[in-house]
């Protein structure tokens, strides 16, 4: 299951297992404990070389991967990530999380993840296209609309999805909904770029409503956000729309922290979006934004802000135990991950201990629940492709919101049903999400004869 060289996967595995054991699930349904070692090994792992030609005519080589983790609920579904840090451990952790995240959406999707250690930064458009064609030259043998439907992830946006889809169509001589995140004129869905960011805000909206018994909303709340890609941008825009104030954004090189009460405006977020298309750093805007924001080189936002809500939207393990303690000390009430496994286990332990100690303390939502909006709309894109149709912005957005509300309600009700906790603390959303996703997948595996 877990190999010594797979720390990220080991973290995801242990986080799931510990929450399942720290509940009454295996007391009420002891037959499910035997599923853990089965569901924790991928059904298939593909690893291949990708040879492509740079602009100087020199052959370059990268590693390509696809982890097809679980298909109990539907075709493998999960993104492709192009980044130099990509390795099997990271993709196994992402694919493992994806199994249960997809289960929570209520849509018929299994879990998978893939990508390459290719770094698109500094590459020309032609080099990226040639890489995508070479990558799909192997991957096309293993995917399909009813087999495995990849999507985008870090450094795989609309441009890369277009190149990958075009290559697949040529190799297979067929047009099918094999990738999600497609262009709107050739099978894509409205709201897909916005979906993860919007979804995490819809989820937190329900957290605030539940915790305050409907007395509060995002209106008047200060919100700290990390990251500056699609997820962070659209989360920020939705927060502003709902009356909140966004006080931070960041990237891998540093963070902007608001120094005025206004926070970010939609126009400033649009400027950040423009530079991120060309993979530029936030630091290029430091002088322009100096009157409203302090740029902290090499910093993450968490110890530098006072905020009611914290939304990690950058990458895995971006909130440490020390940073979690700083968020608690600074009065943060709600934290929800727009990134996958955005908090370390030490940070989760801090959040959960504070939740148990103080009913008015911090309430934490894991990525497999809070950031499921992206894959939810990918599932809606698959449905539209099957119908050969397109739904309106309003219809997709309404379905997205309904899915996120259902995930929240399921997390709460499952946490209450299987709780071993005493007292009047808020339900554990991490336990509720883990148990609900796991039970749904395990029941399907049992029905298929994967265990008995």
> What are the binding residues for NAD(+)?
196, 230
Cα radius of gyration (the chain): 21
Phi, psi values for residue 70, rounded to 5°:
-155, 130
| Cα–Cα distance measured from residue 1 to residue 403, given in angstroms and rounded to the nearest whole number | 31
Binding region: 77, 98, 101, 152, 196, 230, 378
The position carrying tokens 């979006």 is 273
The residue annotated as part of the active site, out of 21, 34, 92, 113, is 113
The position carrying tokens 């539209």 is 384
Token pair of 21 as six digits: 């054991």
Token pair of 92 as six digits: 């196994």
| Cα–Cα distance measured from residue 374 to residue 395, given in angstroms and rounded to the nearest whole number | 15
Binding region for substrate: 77, 98, 101, 152, 378
Active site residue 276: no
Opening angle at CA 93, ends 154 and 110, nearest 5? 85
Token pair of 285 as six digits: 């805007």
| Cα–Cα distance measured from residue 441 to residue 40, given in angstroms and rounded to the nearest whole number | 12
Question: In the 3-class helix/strand/coil scheme, how is 91-156 assigned residue by residue?
Answer: HHHHHHHHHHHHHHHCCCCCEEEEEECCCCCCCCHHHHHHHHHHHHHHHHHHCECCCEEEEECCCC
- Catalytic residue positions? 113
């Amino acid at each position: 299951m877990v190999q010594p060289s797979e720390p990220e996967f080991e973290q995801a595995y242990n986080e799931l297992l510990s929450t399942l054991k720290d509940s009454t699930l295996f007391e009420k349904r002891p037959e499910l404990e035997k599923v853990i070692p089965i569901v924790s090994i991928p059904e298939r792992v593909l690893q291949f070389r990708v040879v492509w030609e740079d602009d100087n005519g020199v052959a370059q080589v990268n590693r390509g991967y696809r982890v097809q983790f679980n298909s109990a609920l539907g075709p493998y579904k999960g993104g492709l990530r192009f980044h130099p840090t990509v390795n099997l451990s990271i993709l196994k952790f992402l694919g493992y999380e994806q199994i249960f995240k997809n289960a929570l959406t209520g849509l018929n999707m299994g879990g998978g993840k893939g990508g390459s250690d290719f770094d698109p930064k500094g590459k020309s458009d032609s080099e990226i296209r040639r890489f995508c064609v070479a990558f799909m030259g192997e991957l096309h043998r293993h995917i399909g609309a009813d087999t495995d439907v990849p999507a985008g992830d870090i450094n795989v946006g609309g441009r890369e999805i277009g190149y990958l889809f075009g290559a697949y169509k040529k190799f297979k001589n067929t047009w099918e909904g094999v990738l999600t995140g497609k262009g709107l004129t050739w099978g894509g869905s409205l709201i897909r770029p916005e979906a993860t960011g919007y979804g995490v805000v819809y989820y937190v909206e329900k957290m605030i409503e539940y915790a305050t018994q409907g007395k509060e909303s995002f209106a008047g709340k200060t919100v700290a956000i990390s990251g500056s890609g699609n997820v962070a941008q659209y989360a920020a825009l939705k927060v502003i729309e709902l009356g909140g104030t966004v006080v931070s954004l960041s990237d891998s090189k540093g963070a902007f922290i608001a120094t005025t009460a206004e926070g970010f405006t939609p126009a400033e977020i649009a400027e950040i979006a423009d530079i991120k298309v060309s993979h530029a750093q936030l630091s290029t805007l430091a002088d322009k934004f100096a009157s409203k924001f302090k740029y902290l080189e090499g910093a993450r936002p968490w110890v530098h802000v006072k905020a009611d809500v914290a939304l990690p939207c950058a990458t895995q393990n971006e909130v440490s135990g020390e940073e979690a303690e700083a968020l608690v000390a600074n009065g943060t009430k709600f934290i929800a991950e727009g990134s996958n496994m955005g908090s370390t286990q030490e940070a989760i332990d801090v959040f959960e201990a504070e939740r148990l100690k103080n009913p008015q303390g911090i309430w934490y939502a894991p990525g497999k629940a809070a950031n499921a909006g992206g894959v939810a709309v990918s599932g809606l894109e698959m449905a539209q492709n099957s119908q050969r149709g397109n739904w309106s912005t309003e219809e997709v957005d309404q379905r997205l919101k309904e899915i996120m509300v259902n995930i929240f309600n399921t997390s709460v009700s499952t946490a209450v049903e299987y709780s071993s906790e005493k007292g009047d603390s808020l339900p554990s959303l991490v336990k509720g999400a883990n148990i609900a996703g796991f039970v749904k997948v395990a029941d399907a595996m049992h029905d298929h004869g994967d265990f008995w």
